[in-house]
Chain A
């Protein structure tokens, strides 16, 4: 073992540099994970740049309180059969279908959280809309006689005074939700052509702890955020095959 006196200047310098870098990373990690403070405001221009995206992290796990509502994603479709007759399907709970795949699995596949994460991502985006904008997305925007459903939706959103960048941010989540629903609908109702899609998110509370032993107690009613009808999202044949190869097997 080398003794302190035998260390070279290079070794000491390297030690100082490495220790300083380690300390800087620890400090940045601490600030990223801590609530905001005066230190945070002063230091974060430097530390946040260091942390994002590779060291981005969030440790509010089941905290401050665990979520006490189920988050679900629902889809239904308007389908057209060979005779040209249009039918509106029943609502399908996509969360149930994904959850069913991991029941009693110690090593579950990673796909099961998708509907819950999608509800969370969409709801965050939806909550940032103002009342008038929310009314627009609750309305139907489907292609009819010369007007494209997409243009109808963007025109209506911009008409509320929304900026283009705010609209694009919102549409990122809506498009993702509807594309997910479109792909699922094609497998859920494969015998007819899908001509329109409607999505809904929902939350349902659980029985409060204090009432859990009350006989016959029911969960609170499910609350829906029902969006309007849209054209089916454009999906490539590869995407359709990739999705259907898995999801189609679950629902057939």
Chain B
């Protein structure tokens, strides 16, 4: 065996490794800089968060003075020792008069509705976030993981272009583009794209941590191992929103075991199930069903809806576009009927605000699918 072969083998390997690093780097650069990922998913997330905040505040209107107003004086001691910056006390201050509290409460509802509509989201999100934190920190006894999760994801959303689709912002941008008015920020678009994709990664990672960590803590517990955990949850006063239903469900040991095991497995394997389309559909359907069950039966609807809204970023843009194509004419006809206008002869497709270049879901395995553009070619130098 000649030494040449060995050298060629090693240098060949070396060249392969260099090529691999280069193409991976180029793919990474392209992922972060060339298009805004999950553009429809983050729009659904924006709409969902707006609805969750608005609905719970409207539902809580009757209880607001005990929950967060002057009547929550029993919780004030904990506000004084928490570590949020003291300027958060400016809002929802317990010693403010009731009318001032009500105005701030209403302002928060209005901001949440603006978030749903996607009106000036870049400004609305930070203001909403500050008021949201201010409100919920005033009563630490009203806290659950959903409130924390919404707070963190809303923080990441500051960096994300959440109103690129299905929003008043998108409509305004389309109108400006049609009128030939270039955006003042056009040359900084790449910065917005970079921050957007960084934010999307943080949102995805955050929800993975929620699912995987909670599953890993669960598998240490005997009740989850023996498939009886759900029975115990159903027995508590705290989660007896529908006691007659949970009582009947709790009688069947098989049903309790199926529910307990699937809760653990679906959470534990969630990130990995997202990698392929077929398992992704399974994961999203199963986890959404789990959230809805928990939300309805245990009175944790806002927590559940928060999770469902975040999971929406894992549905691909092509899927949302397909849904839009099918639903848009229906909605338009309905809207025209509401406004008592004759339906147009041809359904008009509004089209996306910016050209689509990227239709990969977050976390999906690379590779073209029918109807999708090829992934960008690795750069060869």
Cβ contact within 8 Å between A118 and B141: yes
| Given A71-B238, A235-B73: A59 in contact with B145 (beta carbons within 8 A) | yes
- A95 CB contact (under 8 Å) in B29, B97, B237, B253: B237
A interface footprint on B139-180 (CB within 8 Å = 1, 0 otherwise):
111111100110110010000000000000000000000000
Q: Which residues of B contact A240 (CB under 8 A)?
A: 71
* Chain B: minimal CB distance from A110 (Å): 5
**Further pairs besides A59-B210, A105-B241, A238-B98: 13, Cβ < 8 Å:** A15-B29, A19-B32, A52-B83, A58-B145, A65-B224, A67-B236, A68-B235, A95-B237, A104-B242, A110-B56, A111-B142, A121-B141, A241-B65
A-side residues, CB < 8 A to B, are 1-5, 7, 11-12, 14-15, 18-19, 21-22, 25-26, 29-30, 33-34, 52-72, 95-96, 99, 102-114, 116-118, 121, 172, 175-177, 179-180, 183, 206-207, 209, 212-213, 235-236, 238-247
- A245 CB contact (under 8 Å) in B66, B74, B241: B66
A interface footprint on B64-105 (CB within 8 Å = 1, 0 otherwise):
011101111111011001111000000000110110000000
- A64 CB contact (under 8 Å) in B65, B221, B296: B221
Cβ contact within 8 Å between B229 and A65: yes
Q: Which residues of A contact B202 (CB under 8 A)?
A: 22, 25-26
Q: How many B residues face the partner with a CB closer than 8 A?
A: 92
B-side residues, CB < 8 A to A, are 26, 29-30, 32-35, 55-56, 59-60, 62-63, 65-67, 69-75, 77-78, 81-84, 94-95, 97-98, 133, 139-145, 148-149, 151-152, 155, 190-191, 194-195, 198, 201-202, 205-206, 209-210, 213-214, 217-218, 220-224, 228-229, 231-233, 235-238, 240-243, 250-251, 253, 256, 295-296, 299, 301-302, 357, 376, 379, 381
Cβ contact within 8 Å between B145 and A61: yes
Nearest 6 A/B pairs, CB to CB: A242-B71, A64-B221, A242-B70, A243-B71, A4-B379, A63-B217
- B232 CB contact (under 8 Å) in A2, A25, A59, A209: A209
Cβ contact within 8 Å between A62 and B213: no
Q: Which residues of B contact A114 (CB under 8 A)?
A: 139, 141-142
- A110 CB contact (under 8 Å) in B60, B148, B229: B60
Assembly CA distance A61 to B251 (angstroms): 23
Assembly CA distance A243 to B67 (angstroms): 8
Assembly CA distance A111 to B56 (angstroms): 11
Assembly CA distance A142 to B100 (angstroms): 37
Q: Could you list some 21 contacts between A and B, CB below 8 A? A: A1-B376, A7-B29, A15-B32, A18-B198, A26-B201, A30-B209, A33-B209, A33-B213, A54-B152, A57-B209, A58-B145, A59-B210, A61-B145, A66-B232, A110-B63, A113-B144, A172-B78, A242-B71, A242-B73, A242-B98, A243-B71
Q: Which residues of B contact A212 (CB under 8 A)?
A: 231, 250-251
| Given A1-B357, A108-B301: A63 in contact with B214 (beta carbons within 8 A) | yes
Assembly CA distance A176 to B76 (angstroms): 8
Assembly CA distance A95 to B143 (angstroms): 16
Assembly CA distance A15 to B251 (angstroms): 56
Assembly CA distance A111 to B126 (angstroms): 26
| Given A21-B198, A26-B202: A54 in contact with B381 (beta carbons within 8 A) | no
Q: Which residues of B contact A72 (CB under 8 A)?
A: 237
Assembly CA distance A129 to B231 (angstroms): 33
| Given A105-B299, A108-B59: A113 in contact with B141 (beta carbons within 8 A) | yes
